[in-house]
Chain A
């Protein structure tokens, strides 16, 4: 069952029913203490987990720590995943994202973050730092979807999600009133969701 680590975790095809069901099965087996199932779950998800942590915290060493902590939490909480509240991958990436955001928002990182924004300058684009992204249909699909957003929607989404900024900080960064930012985040997600054809 275990995949060779050197070829592990390609981003994979468009997440369809097969992947969704497979991840759910692997998580269920993990919750019963099945370490081999968890190893496979890791192989199926590690590039997305690590990539997201890396994108938010930037520093590769810290990204590894965040990913490591997140996987440990996923293992611990595996029996408490609630399928009625979303997909396994969504649940996992929520855990990863929250940890990454906590990391960048801690005071230790605040100085680095200020520097980072100075480097970004104004009008940051979602792909301003090109990751070693495996070319994939998914990434292209997401980028295409992002282009359907207005500038403010896209910037609000990417600063919050990839940058780990709070809505207040995003409001300051973009010099747009807080109430407007909140609605742009929501409008942007509605459009992204509809463009990507997210199934409920």
Chain B
């Protein structure tokens, strides 16, 4: 189960075929970050696998075209992942991966251009760091919205807002804990997520960015996954382009945090393949 077992390189084929379990795929993706040979191999396999699609091409029903084009009209494409860590709003604080809140004097890393690829690995690491930072900036933005909302909230929202504010305080407390550790991973199906754990507080927070909205009647459910693969419900991913939620329960006994698509209201045990599984 370790991400660097000697035969991890042989998983490239199964990975390119989407034949790994979610946790294995997540482990292999971590391996890819540090193994250029596997990255190149997976890229070439993807193109070979794409050719397999040629053999099964079949005319799509005309109504599919109409419904696809109708649906995109109501959805805004996500912005690109910009390679510069400057919050657009100078009043907005950014939260670094170490968990400390810093003012908006973020360094300009590569404004107006691409980093030179002298060392692709270093560039990738940097990119990963930026993505994590961006996730945490998203949290800051969410918290700012919660704070701002109190200025114009209606009476009917009062109770909800009180609950949201309390939840936001939990999130902030974990994110700013001195012992906070962060693990981030792409989410299968789109977006990224990060799990921030404070062992001292016995709490964890899941941060998501760009997660595909759950279809009607479904919800993204969070799980603590034990070393033996047992799953315990740990809450739900809130709706929103960017979201953060404090998990239910102590992460101490969990080996990983997972997310699955479940019927609204949740399930007692996962019933679908996880879209996210990160070791904590």
Give residues in A with beta carbon < 8 Å to B: 5-6, 8-9, 11, 30-33, 35, 38-39, 42-43, 46-52, 54-55, 60, 64, 67-69, 71-73, 75-80, 85-87, 89-90, 93-95, 97-99, 101-102, 105-108, 126-127, 131-134, 136, 138-139, 141-143, 145-146, 157, 160-162, 164-168, 170, 179, 181-190, 192-193, 196, 198-200
Stretch at the interface among B56-64, B156-164, B242-250: B56-64
For B66, give the chain A residue with the smallest CB separation: A5
User: Which A residues lie within 8 Å of B62 (CB)?
Assistant: 5-6
Using A76-B75, A142-B54, A189-B17 as known contacts, list a sample of 15 further A-B pairs with CB atoms less than 8 Å apart, ordered by residue number in A.
Answer: A8-B65, A11-B54, A52-B56, A55-B58, A90-B50, A95-B189, A106-B261, A133-B56, A142-B52, A161-B18, A182-B11, A183-B13, A189-B45, A198-B47, A200-B47
Collect the chain B residues with CB atoms within 8 Å of residue A42's CB.
65, 68-69
Q: Count A/B pairs, Cβ under 8 Å.
A: 243
Contact mask B51-83 → A, CB, 8 Å, 1/0?
Answer: 111111111111111011101110111111100
A189 close to B53 (CB less than 8 A)? no
- Closest B residue to A127 by beta carbon equals B55
| Cα separation A78 to B190 with both chains bound (whole Å) | 11
In-complex Cβ contact of B77 among A30, A94, A139 (8 A): A30
Q: Is the CB of A93 within 8 A of B10?
A: no
Across-interface contacts of B215 in A (CB, < 8 A): 69
CB of B69 within 8 A of CB of A79, answer no
Contact A189 B49 (CB under 8 A): yes
Q: Contacts A67-B64, A72-B75 known; A189 to B212 CB distance under 8 Å?
A: no
Set B19, B65, B188: member contacting A185, Cβ < 8 A: B19
**What's the least CB distance linking B50 to chain A, in Å?**
4
B273 near A: Cβ within 8 Å?
Answer: yes
> In the assembled complex, which residues on chain B have CB atoms less than 8 Å from the CB atom of A89?
50, 53
Cβ of B34 within 8 Å of any chain A Cβ, yes or no, is no
CA gap between A9 and B54 in the complex, in Å: 12
> Which residues in chain B, 82-113, are within 8 Å of chain A measured between CB atoms?
none
* Docked CA distance A141–B57 (Å): 13
Q: Specify the chain B residue showing the minimal Cβ separation from A131.
A: B58
- Cβ contact within 8 Å between A179 and B7: yes
A74 → B minimal CB distance (Å): 9
**In the complex, A68 Cα to B72 Cα: how many Å?**
10
From DSSP, what is the main secondary structure of chain A's interface residues?
helix
B160 to chain A minimum Cβ distance, whole angstroms, is: 28
**B interface with A by C-beta (< 8 Å):** 7, 10-14, 16-21, 40, 43-65, 67-69, 71-73, 75-81, 188-190, 210, 212, 215, 261, 271-273, 275
On chain A, the residues within 8 Å of B7 by CB distance are 179, 182
Q: Is the CB of B10 within 8 A of A46?
A: no
Cα distance A104–B218 when bound, in Å?
Answer: 17
Q: Contacting A162 at CB < 8 Å: which of B56, B61, B188, B189?
A: B56
What residues on B are CB-neighbors of A97 within 8 Å? 18, 49
Neighbouring B residues of A73 by C-beta, 8 Å: 189-190, 212
Closest Cβ of chain A to B79, distance in Å, is 6
- Interchain residue pairs with CB less than 8 A apart (16): A35-B69, A38-B69, A42-B68, A55-B56, A67-B64, A75-B72, A76-B78, A77-B77, A93-B53, A95-B190, A102-B272, A107-B272, A134-B58, A162-B52, A198-B51, A200-B47
Q: How far is the CB of A81 from chain B (nearest CB, A)?
A: 9
From known contacts A31-B80, A33-B77, A72-B75, infer whether A196 and B58 are also in contact, taking CB-CB under 8 Å: no
Distance from B260 Cβ to chain A, minimum over Cβ atoms (Å)? 9
- Evaluate whether A51 and B53 lie within 8 angstroms (CB atoms) in the complex, with A31-B77, A166-B19 already known: yes
Q: Which of B46, B210, B271 is within 8 Å of A106, CB to CB?
A: B271
Q: Are the C-beta atoms of B59 and A54 separated by less than 8 Å? A: no
A46 surroundings in chain B (CB, below 8 A): 60, 64-65
Give B191's nearest chain A residue, CB to CB.
A77
Known: A76-B78, A78-B77, A162-B56. A68 touches B49 (CB 8 A): no
Do B190 and A47 have beta carbons less than 8 Å apart? no
Q: Return A187 CB to nearest CB of chain B, in Å.
A: 8
Which residue of chain B lies nearest to A107 when distances are taken between CB atoms in the complex?
B271
